[in-house]
């Protein structure tokens, strides 16, 4: 089973690219982030026409996540526990039944957190704490569980062109990495790193300052796997080619294959 995740930076602006990519790469599940629209204006039909079931946690203008699956969703939850007052659409979790049992997948859009001296940074860290608590609960089930999406975290110096220029950024500062390490320390596996050891493999290049032609990117989109999912991990890859397309998202898809 191939599970991809892609921050599309507006599903309505990106629909042609998303449809082309789905036809070319045919993931079984696609987690989408920054759809930037509500369910009423999400282009559901175009994706259903490609054979996908569609689950949406939308928001006007900002944020918003969705999931596409060739298999039907058994259960869908759009709430990350821990803050009833949080109105930002950044989480969607669904369960799919497979021949090998239940598989639960979350599509996440973690907060960016910049600027760090604003209220956005504590919100980012609190959101990561909530994700940690949720992952801890899910791990008790001892099932296949994948948290895929835009973590807005650069895990390591090898995941950025110039680490020093990012050191104080909300995506890379030590306090952010501490929170990310707490997730890994639960026993979750960074699927891409488990498969590929090459440095400087990126999933995001800023639109500004010639970041793409200079390959000044960062790796911030990840799949974290429960031990049961990690046992089934076969391969991983990054669909870099979509960044060169017309009307490209600033992120590209990243995918894994599980032997399920």
Partner DNA sequence: ATGTCGATACTTTATCGA
Inter-residue contact 29 to 66 (CB < 8 Å) = no
Closest CA to 22 of 258, 257, 256, 253: 253
Would you count residue 13 as binding DNA (CB under 7 A)?
yes
Instruction: Provide the minimum distance between the beta carbon of 188 and DNA in the complex, in angstroms, as a whole number.
Output: 23
**Residue 19 near DNA by CB under 7 A:** no
Rounded Cα distance, 135 and 138, in Å: 5
| Token pair belonging to 58 | 């939308």
User: Shortest approach of DNA to residue 206 CB, angstroms?
Assistant: 7
Q: How far apart are CA 101 and CA 13, in angstroms?
A: 36
Angle subtended at Cα 54 by Cα 48 and Cα 55, rounded to the nearest 5 degrees: 165
Map the footprint of DNA across residues 55-74, applying CB under 7 A.
Answer: 60-62
Q: CB-wise, 144 or 220, nearer to DNA?
A: 220
Residues 25, 53, 95, 112: which binds DNA (CB under 7 A)?
112
Binding test (CB under 7 A) with DNA, winner from 114, 130, 158, 186? 114
Q: Which residue in the set 181, 196, 200, 247 belongs to the binding site for DNA (CB under 7 A)?
A: 247
Binders of DNA: how many residues, by CB under 7 A? 19
With CB under 7 A as the contact rule, the residue among 5, 37, 201, 226 that binds DNA is 37
Q: What's the closest the beta carbon of residue 104 comes to DNA, in angstroms?
A: 26
Which residues is 146 bridged to in the sheet?
105, 225
**Whose Cβ is closer to DNA: residue 169's or residue 257's?**
169
Q: Which two tokens stand for residue 41?
A: 């204006």
**Do residues 37 and 64 touch, judged by C-beta distance below 8 A?**
yes
Cβ nearer to DNA, comparing 92 with 103: 92
Check residue 53 for interaction with DNA (CB under 7 A). no
Say whether 93 sits in a helix, a strand or coil.
strand
Name the 3-class secondary structure at 188. Answer: coil
- 219 within 8 A of 201, measured Cβ to Cβ: yes
Residues 6+ apart with CB under 8 A from 108: 31, 33, 65, 80, 90, 91, 131, 147, 148, 149, 150, 151
Kindly give the interhelix angle for 120-139 and 174-185, rounded to the nearest 10 degrees: 10
Tell me the window of 6-14, 69-77, 140-148, 154-162 that interacts with DNA (CB under 7 A). Answer: 6-14
Which residue stretch of 23-31, 157-165, 203-211, 221-229 sits at the interface with DNA (rule: CB under 7 A)?
203-211
H or E stretch at 46: helix 44-48
Of 207, 241, 244, 259, the one binding DNA (CB under 7 A) is: 207
State yes or no: residue 95 binds DNA (CB under 7 A): no
186 binds DNA (CB under 7 A): no
Q: Does 241 bind DNA (CB under 7 A)?
A: no
Interacting residues with DNA (CB under 7 A): 9-10, 12-14, 36-37, 60-62, 111-112, 114, 120, 207-210, 247
């Amino acid at each position: 089973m191939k599970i991809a995740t892609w921050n599309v930076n507006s599903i309505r602006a990106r629909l042609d690219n998303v449809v082309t990519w789905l036809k070319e790469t045919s993931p079984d599940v696609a987690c989408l982030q920054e759809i930037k629209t509500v369910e009423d204006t999400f282009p559901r039909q175009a994706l259903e026409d490609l054979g996908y079931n569609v689950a949406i946690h939308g928001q006007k203008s900002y944020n918003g996540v969705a999931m596409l699956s060739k298999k039907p969703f058994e259960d869908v939850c759009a709430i990350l526990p821990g803050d009833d007052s949080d109105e930002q659409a950044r989480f969607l979790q669904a369960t799919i039944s497979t021949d090998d049992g239940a598989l639960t997948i979350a599509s996440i859009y973690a907060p960016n957190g910049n600027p760090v001296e604003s209220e956005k940074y504590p919100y980012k860290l609190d959101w990561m704490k909530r994700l940690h608590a949720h992952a801890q609960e899910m791990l008790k089930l001892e099932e296949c569980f994948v948290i895929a999406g835009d973590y807005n975290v650069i895990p390591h110096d090898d995941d950025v062109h110039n680490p020093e220029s990012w050191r104080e950024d909300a995506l890379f500062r030590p306090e952010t990495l501490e929170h990310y390490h707490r997730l890994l320390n639960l026993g979750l596996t960074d699927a891409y790193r488990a498969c590929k050891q090459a440095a400087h493999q990126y999933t995001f290049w800023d639109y500004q300052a010639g970041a793409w032609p200079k390959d000044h990117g960062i790796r911030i989109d990840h799949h974290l796997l429960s031990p049961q999912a990690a046992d089934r991990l076969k391969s991983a890859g990054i669909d870099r080619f979509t960044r060169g397309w017309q009307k490209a998202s600033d992120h590209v898809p990243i995918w894994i294959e599980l032997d399920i």
